[in-house]
């Protein structure tokens, strides 16, 4: 088939194979940076498990797990600058924390607290987008504005494979290509759009090849290889800063957990498939083996990293839970500059029952 022929032009780029053995060119990073990437992936995995536990205890609301996707997030965010604009879905908390979002604020998202949307002033991060794919349009807008103003910043937007079926995906890529906008479209293809497998969502063997239709750069990378992800993202960032237009990156990874804590993946996903990804393709295991071969990892290093992660996460829980509960009527306060009459009436009615 033609689509398969085209797809063959988008090989899965790797630096480390599934056994942690070097099979490509290593990126120019120091030993300290290598260890930092691992420490962040460990922290992200611990954060994810903590949030699931908190949800089961009724201390947070619905939560979207990301275990298995740590390399895709940490590796790509490591290539961005603080000046760059970032728009994400609800599954990129690991990357956002790496970029500077406080742990406690990441927790507030699932607590439904209004402070969750108040991003730190020194970070160009948009509030987390719940509507599938809407953030891609926001990324194109911010990158276009930056280009027009000559600021030198770019935009990076994150989404899942399911988002590529939405109209906003095509509109964003089309506008970005026509205007040569400095934006990176980073797709975490975790194989499942809730219960729909990628094979039933699209006829093309890759997402990266969709870039052809828009005349932009398309790249397919092993999303469980943190070094390969960093390398591919760094190149895309450099292209964007040079004015060479947008890039579509497909990071092939796997969602080890459920779509959300309201989902049961055992009802639609084959256990053997999950076991293969969990036991043989886990991004943390792969990278840990690499570090061990480089003489940078041992049990003592692991304990120190795990202990530090636990301390920071527990401190984040204390901070998040210590915030005063939000007053329900604040839901009306930050939508319009001048509140419409109907909102005023609804707010007054709600106050009568508080």
pLDDT (tens digit per residue) in 214-272: 999 999 999 999 999 999 999 999 999 999 999 999 999 999 999 999 999 999 999 99
Mean pLDDT of 199-222: 96
Give the model's confidence band at 301: pLDDT under 50 very low, under 70 low, under 90 confident, else very high: very high
pLDDT digits (tens, 9 = 90+) for 309-320: 999 999 999 999
Marked catalytic residue, from 19, 56, 83, 268 = 268
pLDDT at 253: 98
45 assigned to active site? no
What are the two backbone dihedrals, phi and then psi, of residue 148, each rounded to the nearest 5 degrees? Answer: -65, -35
Which of 10-24, 73-87, 136-150, 327-341 comes out lowest in average pLDDT? 327-341
255 assigned to active site? yes
Q: Is residue 38 within 8 Å of 49, Cβ to Cβ?
A: no
What are the DSSP E strand ranges found in the chain? 85-87, 155-160, 183-189, 192-193, 196-197, 217-222, 247-252
Place of tokens 């792969």: 286
pLDDT at 334: 79
268 assigned to active site? yes
Q: Mean pLDDT for the chain?
A: 95
Ordered structural domains, the chain, with CATH: 2-323 (3.40.50.970), 328-354 (no CATH)
Extract the tokens encoding 143: 């990158």
DSSP state of 128: P
pLDDT digits (tens, 9 = 90+) for 82-116: 999 999 999 999 999 999 999 999 999 999 888 89
Marked catalytic residue, from 91, 99, 239, 255 = 255
Alpha-carbon separation of residue 278 from 16, 63, 70, 285 (angstroms): 17, 21, 13, 10
Marked catalytic residue, from 14, 91, 220, 259 = 259
Helix, strand, or coil (residue 108): helix
Give the model's confidence band at 1: pLDDT under 50 very low, under 70 low, under 90 confident, else very high: low
**Cα dihedral: 97, 210, 28, 155 (round 10):** -40
Extract the tokens encoding 183: 């934006």
pLDDT at 198: 92
Collect all residues with Cβ–Cβ distance below 8 Å to 62 and sequence separation of at least 6.
Answer: 55, 110, 260, 261, 262
Mean pLDDT of 44-69: 97
């Amino acid at each position: 088939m033609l689509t398969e022929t085209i797809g063959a032009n988008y090989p899965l780029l790797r630096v480390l194979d599934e056994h942690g053995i070097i099979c490509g060119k290593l990126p120019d990073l120091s030993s300290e940076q290598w260890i930092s990437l691992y420490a962040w992936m460990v922290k992200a995995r611990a954060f994810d498990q903590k949030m699931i536990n908190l949800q089961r205890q009724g201390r947070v609301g619905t939560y979207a797990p990301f275990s298995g996707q740590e390399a895709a997030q940490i590796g790509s965010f490591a290539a961005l600058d603080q000046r760059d604009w970032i728009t994400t879905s609800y599954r990129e908390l690991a990357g956002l924390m790496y970029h500077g979002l406080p742990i406690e604020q990441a927790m507030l998202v699932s607590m439904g607290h209004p402070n969750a949307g108040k991003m730190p002033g020194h970070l160009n991060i948009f509030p987390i987008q719940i509507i599938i794919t809407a953030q891609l349009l926001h990324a194109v807008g911010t990158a276009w504005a930056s280009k027009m103003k000559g600021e030198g910043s770019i935009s990076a937007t994150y989404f899942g494979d399911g988002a590529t079926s939405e109209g906003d995906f095509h509109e964003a890529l089309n506008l970005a290509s026509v205007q040569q906008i400095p934006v990176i479209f980073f797709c975490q293809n975790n194989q499942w759009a809730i219960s729909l497998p990628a094979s039933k969502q699209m006829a093309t063997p890759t997402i990266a090849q969709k870039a052809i239709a828009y005349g932009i750069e398309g790249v397919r990378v092993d999303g469980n290889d943190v070094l390969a992800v960093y390398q591919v993202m760094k190149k895309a960032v450099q292209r964007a800063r040079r004015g060479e237009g947008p890039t579509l990156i497909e990071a092939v990874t796997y969602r080890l957990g459920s779509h959300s804590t309201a989902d049961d993946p055992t009802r639609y996903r084959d256990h053997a498939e999950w076991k293969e990804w969990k036991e043989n393709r886990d991004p943390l295991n792969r990278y840990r083996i690499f570090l061990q071969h480089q003489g940078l990892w041992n049990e003592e290093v692991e304990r120190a990293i795990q202990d530090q992660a636990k301390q920071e996460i527990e401190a984040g829980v204390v901070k998040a839970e210590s915030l005063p509960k939000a007053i329900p009527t604040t839901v009306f306060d930050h939508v319009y500059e001048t509140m419409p009459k109907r909102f005023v009436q609804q707010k007054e009615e709600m106050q009568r029952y508080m």
